[in-house]
A and B are shown apart, each in its own frame.
Chain A
C-alpha cells in the first residue's frame, strides 16, 4: 500500500502552527463486503508471542487480525453469529486473548465473551448477560459494567472475569432513577465510575462499595451527552463530553466535543471549552473516540475530524475515501494510530503526527 498524505485544506481556523497530518500506513480489506460495525485493538498471545492485534466486527462476523509482514495483517480467528447481529466491540483494558462484544438490533440484547479453546485453538463464545441492556463499558482490573432495565427497575452490575472469559464475581451498584446512557472511568481513580443519564445528569459511584455518591445536573448542556474521558485534578472533575444533538451557533460554530469542569462536592459545574468544526465544515457528532489529548469524531457529513484537546482546535480532517463516508474511528493503543472504518468492511490505519 503506497503511503498517502492527507492534510487539512487551507482553512483559516487551522491555518496556524501545529497542524496534524494523517498518513495511511495499512489497509484491512474485507472480502465478504458485509456491513462493518466496529474496530478495536487488543493483545493476543498466539504460541507464546504476544501481539497487539486488530479486532473487526461486521454484523454477523468478528475477526481477529495479527500483524504479519510490514504493514500487512493476517486474519487468524473468526467468530460467527447467526441470530443476533453485533453492535459493538467492548474493549476491556489489561485483558489478553478475550474479546467482548455487545449484540442486538437497536439496543443491546446480549454481551458475549469470545475466546479460543486452549486445546484445539477453535473459536468459542460465552453468553455473559442477556436482557434489555442500556449501557456497557470495559473497566480496568478485568471488569465490565453494564446497566439493564427489567420492568421499572434499573440494574447496574459490575462483572469480574476469569482467564477463561467466565464471570468470576458480580457486584451491584446503586442505580439512579433515570436511565443511564453511558459510563466512563475516572483516570487514575480505579474505585470511581461516572455515568451520564437520559435527563443530562452525571452520576458518580464508588465501585468498591456500590454507593451512588453524587448526581450532578448539567441540564444547561446539550441532550444525549456522551462522556468520553474523565480525570480529577485539584479537587475538581474534568470531563470530555460529546454532543450528538448540538446545533451550530453563530458565535462558536458547530460544537462536537466539550470540556466541562465540575466540583463533585458542590455539584456546581461549568463548560470550559467547546471543540468546534472549522468554518466551512458542516456536520454533527456521529461517533468518536478520545485518547490522551486527542479526540476523533465521525461527522454526519461522513468526514473524520481530529482535535488536539490541549491546543483547543481541529488539527486534521479526513474526507470520505473513494466516495464512501467513514462509519467509525478508534485510536489504537500505541503511537497515535487511527483506525477508520467504512460500511463495506474495509479498515484503514492512519498514522497521526
Chain B
C-alpha cells in the first residue's frame, strides 16, 4: 500500500481532532 491510500495526513492530527471533537 502507499501513504496516498490512507488519505490526507496531518502532523497535528491530535490537536486538530481535539478541536473538532465534542467537548
B9: which of A174, A234, A270 is its contact (CB, 8 Å)? A234
Q: When each residue 1-23 of chain B gets 1 if its CB lies under 8 Å from chain A and 0 otherwise, what string results?
A: 10101111111011011100111
Main secondary structure of the interface of A (DSSP, over half): strand
- Chain B residues with CB below 8 A from A158, complex form: none
Instruction: Indicate if A16 sits at the interface (CB-CB under 8 A).
Output: no
Instruction: Indicate if A304 sits at the interface (CB-CB under 8 A).
Output: no
Cβ-defined contact, A265 with B7, below 8 A: yes
Q: How far is the CB of A274 from chain B (nearest CB, A)?
A: 14
Number of interface residues of A (CB under 8 A): 26
- Chain B residues with CB below 8 A from A270, complex form: 1, 5-6
Which stretch in A17-25, A149-157, A208-216 binds the other chain?
A: A208-216
A263: which of B9, B14, B16, B23 is its contact (CB, 8 Å)? B9
Cβ-defined contact, B18 with A211, below 8 A: yes
Closest to B1 in A: A270
Cβ-defined contact, B17 with A264, below 8 A: yes
Cβ-defined contact, A235 with B9, below 8 A: yes
B7: which of A232, A237, A263, A272 is its contact (CB, 8 Å)? A263
Cβ-defined contact, B10 with A235, below 8 A: yes
State the CA gap A262–B6 with chains docked (Å).
Answer: 7
Q: When each residue 259-276 of chain A gets 1 if its CB lies under 8 Å from chain B and 0 otherwise, what string results?
A: 001111110111010000
Q: When each residue 216-232 of chain A gets 1 if its CB lies under 8 Å from chain B and 0 otherwise, what string results?
A: 00000000000000001
Instruction: Indicate if A204 sits at the interface (CB-CB under 8 A).
Output: yes
Cβ-defined contact, B5 with A266, below 8 A: no
User: Among residues 188 to 211 in chain A, which have CB atoms less than 8 Å away from a CB atom of chain B?
Assistant: 189, 191-192, 204, 206, 209, 211
State the CA gap A269–B5 with chains docked (Å).
Answer: 9
User: Among residues 226 to 260 in chain A, which have CB atoms less than 8 Å away from a CB atom of chain B?
Assistant: 232, 234-237
Closest to B18 in A: A206
State the CA gap A268–B10 with chains docked (Å).
Answer: 13
Cβ-defined contact, B17 with A204, below 8 A: yes
User: Among residues 44 to 97 in chain A, which have CB atoms less than 8 Å away from a CB atom of chain B?
Assistant: none
Cβ-defined contact, A235 with B11, below 8 A: yes
Cβ-defined contact, A265 with B18, below 8 A: no
- Chain A residues with CB below 8 A from B16, complex form: 265
Cβ-defined contact, A235 with B18, below 8 A: no
State the CA gap A49–B7 with chains docked (Å).
Answer: 52
- Chain A residues with CB below 8 A from B11, complex form: 234-235
State the CA gap A235–B11 with chains docked (Å).
Answer: 4
State the CA gap A234–B6 with chains docked (Å).
Answer: 12
Cβ-defined contact, A264 with B13, below 8 A: yes
State the CA gap A262–B3 with chains docked (Å).
Answer: 10
Pull 7 A–B residue pairs with CB atoms less than 8 Å apart, ordered by A: A204-B17, A234-B9, A234-B11, A264-B13, A265-B10, A266-B6, A270-B6
Given A209-B18, A212-B22, 16 additional A-B pairs, CB 8 A: A189-B14, A209-B23, A211-B22, A211-B23, A213-B17, A214-B21, A234-B3, A234-B9, A235-B13, A236-B9, A262-B6, A263-B6, A263-B9, A265-B7, A265-B16, A268-B7
Chain B residues with CB under 8 Å of chain A are 1, 3, 5-11, 13-14, 16-18, 21-23
A-B pairs with lowest CB-CB distance, top 7: A266-B7, A235-B9, A263-B6, A213-B17, A268-B6, A211-B21, A264-B13
